[in-house]
Structure 1
Amino acid sequence: MRIIRAADCKVMPWKNGGGTTTEIAVFPEGASLSDFDWRISMAYVGADGPFSSFPGIDRTLCVLTGNGIRLAFGDGEAVMLDRATGPYFFAADRAVDGQLIGGAIDDLNVMSRRGRWQHEVQRFSSQGQQAVAIDSGLVVAFAHQGDWRANGQFLMPGDSAIVDTSPQHSLHLEGRGDLIVVKLAPAS
């Protein structure tokens, strides 16, 4: 298991130049915005505007703080997301504008290159224990708020734990607060 501390995450400008994002993890390591296979990041969204297009990428968005955001897709679909809604999956090459609901938000973005990797995102806002099986690929646990332990190691808010596939490995999570679990696997 590898721990990524919030203080060690890289901050970079958005692809569309409208703000910054905090990169939590990317594969392959050091990949740019145009050649990653998967990427997990956090963004501060302070103004309405278009999302950057990422051809061939699938994306899941999860609101962490703030009142929420309305996603207005170019094909007419509209979706409201806030802290109470589940993670929302969509193709990152669809035209979409974000319209903030009552102020700025922070969000978590998970992106994977279609045909190479796939991802699944779950949010836990509770107290207790959780065991996550790792069938293939890897699991990333992002501790957004509260007190969490991943396989016995303490995670501060903003820290992440990454566990790779192995028959002997699983991820045991214990704590309280807001935790997001991302499963990443090679596309079948």
Structure 2
Amino acid sequence: MKIARRAGHKRMAWKNGQGLTEEVAAFPAGSDVDSFDWRLSIAHVEADGPFSVFAGVDRTIALLDGAGLALDLPERLPESLQGARTVELTQGGAPFAFSGDWTISSRNLGGPTIDLNIMTRRGRCIHEMRRLTLAPGETLTAPGAGWVVFNSPATIEADGQELAIERFDAIALDAGESFSNRNTEAKILLVTISPAA
């Protein structure tokens, strides 16, 4: 288990220069936006505008903070999304998976927003993101290798050690590793990453 404290997240401008990202982790180490196999980041969306296009990349995002974020989708979509020209991300809502090849614009629904973003290079890695709430005393066991990003402060116990977690801190877990939540309800996003078949 490894902890990535928010204070240590690398901050950088978006690929299109229209926002700020806190990079939680990326692989391989030292890779940039053109060379990563996967990248986990927290995006600060200050204004309406286009998303960066990431050809050959699969993405999933979930809202962490703010009133809501509307995504205006391209006209040509997979059958499962036909008719859904706009998707709204809300606090507590399900993460949204989409292709980085798509041309998408976003609109803040009542002020700036912050979202969690996992990107995996198609053909190299696949991912899944789930939003969970852990009750006091509840234990999470990682179903696969990946990350847990906290959307609330928490106190956890792992390997017999108690740790204070701040909002937007993250922990890396291998498959089967676990931690227990203590004291108060913990809001988390669980991201699993695995090699492509």
Do both share a fold (TM > 0.5)?
Answer: yes
Q: Which has the higher strand share?
A: 1
Quote how far apart the aligned CAs of 1:126 are. 4.3
Cα distance change of structure 1 residues 134 and 78 upon mapping to structure 2, 3 Å threshold: same
- Which letter does structure 2 place at the counterpart of 1:107? D
Quote how far apart the aligned CAs of 1:156 are. 2.0
Quote how far apart the aligned CAs of 1:146 are. 2.6
Cα distance change of structure 1 residues 133 and 66 upon mapping to structure 2, 3 Å threshold: closer
Alignment pair present for 1:122 and 2:130: yes
Alignment pair present for 1:73 and 2:80: no
Alignment pair present for 1:144 and 2:144: no
Deviation string, structure 1 residues 70-101 (Cα, Å, up to 9, x no partner)? 11112162111111311111111101000111
Structure 1, unmatched stretches of 5+, are none
> Which residue of the partner structure matches residue 107 of structure 2?
99
Give the secondary structure class of the aligned counterpart of 1:34.
Answer: coil
> Which residue of the partner structure matches residue 49 of structure 2?
49
> Which residue of the partner structure matches residue 179 of structure 1?
188
Quote how far apart the aligned CAs of 1:148 are. 3.8
Tell me the distance in 1 between the aligned counterparts of 2:22 and 2:44.
Answer: 9
Give the secondary structure class of the aligned counterpart of 1:145.
Answer: coil
**Worse-matched range after superposition: 70-79 or 104-113:** 70-79
- Which letter does structure 2 place at the counterpart of 1:157? R
Percent identity, please: 34
> Which residue of the partner structure matches residue 162 of structure 1?
172
Cα distance change of structure 1 residues 153 and 9 upon mapping to structure 2, 3 Å threshold: farther
CA contact (8 A) 2:46 2:111 kept: yes
Tell me the distance in 2 between the aligned counterparts of 1:12 and 1:153.
Answer: 32
> Which residue of the partner structure matches residue 82 of structure 1?
90
Task: Work out the number of aligned pairs and report it.
Answer: 183
CA contact (8 A) 1:150 1:161 kept: no
Structure 2, unmatched stretches of 5+, are 77-84
